[in-house]
Chains A and B, each alone.
Chain A
C-alpha cells in the first residue's frame, strides 16, 4: 500500500477513540507547576532528617560554640548581646544554604540518575520549572530557618522590631538562592561540580557576609570587600527586621538584593527556556 493509500484507507476509520477522561485537566504555561512543586517538596520531606533536622543541628552547634566563646565579650549595634546578634545570622544562613542545596541537589540527582527524562517529556513550560523548583527551595529554606529559629530563640532575648523586613528578606533571599541552585544544577554534570559550587562559592560568601560579626568591626579593606557580597545585604536586611538597626539601610539592602534577584532569575529562566545542558 502506498503512503497516500494508507492515509486514504484510514480516512473513513474513526481515529484513536479515546475514552473521555474523568479526571480534571489544566492547561497554560503554569500547567503542571503545582505537581512539580508538590513532588519537589515531597522529595526533601521524605528525607527530612537529612534535609531539615541536620542543618538545624549544625546551626545549634554554631550557636553553642560561638555563643559560649564570645557572649559577654562582644556587643554589637551598641547594646545587643553577641548571642542575640548571632541568632538571626544563623537563621538566614540556614535559609540561604538550604534553598540553594534543594534545587541544585534535586536537579543534579535527576540528571545523573536519568529520571529527569520524566520532566523533559512533559509539557512543562520553563515558567513551570522555575516556579516549582524555586518554590520548593523557598519551602525548604523556610522549614530549616523556622527550625533554627524555634530552637535557638530560647538561648537569648530576641526583639522583633519590624517583621515585614524579616519576611521580605527571607523570601527574597531564599528565592535568589533557589534560582542560583537551579542554575548550578543545570550547569553541573556531576556531583563533584555541585559540591565545588557549594564549598568554594556559596559557603565562603555566606560565612564572610556578617553572619558571625558586624562588618563594621572589620579593617577598612575587608569592610569595603564585604559590600561587594550580595549575601551581606540579605543577612543585614534580615537582621534589621529584628533589631531595627543594621550595618546598612534596609532599603539599600533591599535594592541590591532585588537587583541580584532579577539578574539571577532572568538568567535562570533563559537557561531553562533554551534547555541548557538538558535538551541536546
Chain B
C-alpha cells in the first residue's frame, strides 16, 4: 500500500483490504468482565465478498465497530488497506464505507443535503456528479430534495448505503443491511452491491439471512462467543458438511429416537442423513411409530445446516489467521 494523498486511495495488490490481528474486547461492568471478542485474527483480501456470521451476541457488531472506529479494542489491532484504524484513523476511515445496522438519519436535512454533508466530512467537495449517480442507482433520484423524515424505512436504508459510498471507499462494510427490508429492496441492494464488488470493491457483510451469505460471499468467517470458529471459502464450508437433508411434513410429534437430531419448524421437519441407508433407517423409524410423512424431499445441506452444526459446538473449520 502506498500512502498516497488523502484524497484518493492508492492500493497495492498484496495488501489485505482488512486485517484483524489478535483483537480482544472486554466490557467491564459491576457484574464482571464480559469478553465480547477473544483473540480474533483473520484477513480479508482486496476484492473479496466476505461474510461474517454468528448468532446474536457473537461479537460481529463489536468487531465491525472496532474496524469503523466506533469502539476501541482492548488489545490487538485492525487495519484497512494497511492503515491502522487507531493510529492512522483518518486514512483508514477514508478507505472504509460503513452501512450501520440501525436505521438512523438526521431529520434536519434533505437526502441531497445529507449526502453532500457526509461527502464533506470525508473532505470531498463538489461531489454532485457522483451523488446523482448514487441516487439514480439506488432509485432515490425523485427523493433527492425530500426531507429524510418523509422517507419510508426502505428508502432510509438506501440513503444509508448512499452515505456509506459517497466518498467512494474501496472497502464497504454492511452490518445486517437487509434486516427488516422487503424482498424487492433486498434484490435492488444486492444487485448494486454485487456490481460494486465486481468493479473491485471489497465487501464485508454481516447478515442473519444465511441464504444471502451463501449466494454472495466467497469466503465466510463464523463467530461464536467472541471467537472465530470457522473461516473458509463458502464452497469448502458446504463441502465439509457432505450430508443430505431429509425434509417432510408431519402432523404428530416425532419419535424420540429422531427428535434429538431434528430441526422442526411448525409442521416441517428436517433431518440430516449422510447416505441412502440412513434415509431408509429414518423412514423405517417413522413408519414403525405410525407416522405418515407428507411432501417428502431430499436435498443438499445448505449454509444454515453448516452454521447450526458449527454453532452447536462441533469441530471448528479451518480457522487460520
B209 → chain A closest CB, angstroms: 23
**B119, A23: Cβ atoms closer than 8 Å:** yes
**A7, B47: Cβ atoms closer than 8 Å:** no
B7 contact from A17, A25, A119, Cβ within 8 A: A25
Q: How big is the A interface, by class? A: 35 or more
**B16, A7: Cβ atoms closer than 8 Å:** yes
A1-39 vs B, Cβ < 8 Å mask (1 yes, 0 no): 111001100111111111111111111100110111011
A83 → chain B closest CB, angstroms: 38
**A125, B90: Cβ atoms closer than 8 Å:** yes
With the chains together, A225 CA to B27 CA distance in Å? 44
**B121, A122: Cβ atoms closer than 8 Å:** yes
Any chain B CB within 8 A of the CB of A121?
yes
B1 → chain A closest CB, angstroms: 10
How many residue pairs at the A-B interface have CB separations less than 8 Å?
172
**A280, B125: Cβ atoms closer than 8 Å:** no
B6 contact from A27, A46, A119, A275, Cβ within 8 A: A27
With the chains together, A7 CA to B11 CA distance in Å? 14
With the chains together, A35 CA to B124 CA distance in Å? 10
Any chain A CB within 8 A of the CB of B224?
no
A121 contact from B8, B42, B98, B199, Cβ within 8 A: B98
Any chain B CB within 8 A of the CB of A124?
yes
Residues of the B chain whose Cβ atoms lie less than 8 Å from the Cβ of A124: 121
Any chain A CB within 8 A of the CB of B190?
no
**B8, A123: Cβ atoms closer than 8 Å:** no
Residues of the B chain whose Cβ atoms lie less than 8 Å from the Cβ of A153: none
Any chain B CB within 8 A of the CB of A154?
no
Any chain B CB within 8 A of the CB of A73?
no
Any chain B CB within 8 A of the CB of A219?
no
Any chain A CB within 8 A of the CB of B126?
yes
**A25, B93: Cβ atoms closer than 8 Å:** no
Chain B binding surface SS class:
loop
Residues of the A chain whose Cβ atoms lie less than 8 Å from the Cβ of B122: 31-32, 122-123
Of all chain A residues, which has the CB nearest B15?
A15
Of all chain A residues, which has the CB nearest B99?
A121
**A3, B120: Cβ atoms closer than 8 Å:** no
Residues of the A chain whose Cβ atoms lie less than 8 Å from the Cβ of B231: 3
Pick 28 A–B contacts, CB within 8 A, sort by A: A3-B320, A10-B13, A11-B13, A11-B14, A13-B13, A14-B200, A16-B47, A16-B170, A21-B168, A22-B130, A23-B130, A25-B8, A26-B125, A27-B6, A27-B90, A28-B6, A31-B123, A35-B117, A38-B120, A113-B104, A114-B104, A118-B121, A121-B70, A123-B89, A123-B90, A123-B121, A123-B122, A124-B121
- Other than the given A3-B42, A39-B109, A110-B106, 14 more pairs (CB < 8 A) read A3-B231, A12-B13, A14-B13, A16-B201, A17-B200, A26-B7, A27-B7, A35-B117, A114-B102, A115-B105, A122-B121, A123-B89, A125-B90, A280-B72
Residues of A within 8 A of B (CB): 1-3, 6-7, 10-28, 31-32, 34-36, 38-39, 42-43, 46-47, 110, 113-115, 117-125, 275, 279-280
Residues of B within 8 A of A (CB): 5-9, 11-14, 16, 42-43, 45-48, 65, 68-72, 89-94, 96, 98, 100, 102, 104-109, 113, 117-127, 129-130, 163, 168, 170, 199-202, 219, 231, 233, 236, 320-321
